[in-house]
Amino acid sequence: MSKIRYGKTIASCAAVAILAAFLTLVLTHSGGAKPRPAPSPQPAPLSEFDRGAIAEGSYATAINIHNPSLRETITLHKRAVIALEENSPQSPPSAFVTVTLPAGNAVEVDCEDINGLITQGATSNFTTFTKGFVSVFATGQLDVVGVYSANPESIPVGITLEMLNITPRVIVTPGPANPTAVLPGRTYYEYSAKFLCGPTGALVP
């Protein structure tokens, strides 16, 4: 009986030694765990021009606002918002800026003014193509005309020009009792004008 047990012990030790030698050989030749490949860099988002959303060129917008009243001073609240791709993180609208427009007076909101609304800073022109909307909430009816110009890259000299009358809609905002109100509660004439400003990506140095 002791000889049988002794034989089993020798067999077990031999099996353990063979297994250890095999593992040593495998680890020596494999060099340990292989590192994972680095993730591929994400491609940069395409510009409006590269996606075919806009023709190559330089764009400008001027929104002309006229108070046609003979007596009434009209208060208008303006803000701007950038329109981005549907699948992109959306940009919130800017804060309102209030302007008082006496009877018979007119003002213009151009690309520099729009950039100032969006950045809440000093007015400056757009260095890359940007599009969106300017909303004007007025206490009275106005004449609002959007003037759009573009200098196509395909035309050496010259611009294209278009003027659009902006039709208002009547909006009633909540009164001061509503804590989420961003404007004084009353009835407003709201004008939404599209803006296109700056050069397309292909023209930026």
The pLDDT, as a whole number, for residue 152 is: 76
Same domain assignment for residues 11 and 102: no
Helix, strand or coil, per DSSP, at residue 10: helix
Same domain assignment for residues 86 and 139: yes
pLDDT score of 18 more than 90: no
Same domain assignment for residues 191 and 139: yes
Q: 74: burial class by Cβ within 10 Å (0-12, 13-18, 19+)? A: buried
In a domain, 96, yes or no: yes
How high is the mean pLDDT of the chain? 78
pTM of the model: 0.70
Each residue's pLDDT tens digit, 96-152: 999 999 999 999 999 999 999 998 876 667 888 899 999 999 999 999 999 999 887
pLDDT score of 90 more than 70: yes
Range of the domain at 96: 57-203
In a domain, 62, yes or no: yes
Same domain assignment for residues 139 and 186: yes
Q: Cα–Cα distance between 89 and 45 in angstroms, integer?
A: 13
Same domain assignment for residues 85 and 164: yes
Same domain assignment for residues 106 and 145: yes
Q: Cα–Cα distance between 144 and 32 in angstroms, integer?
A: 72
CA nearest 132: which of 87, 169, 75, 85?
A: 85
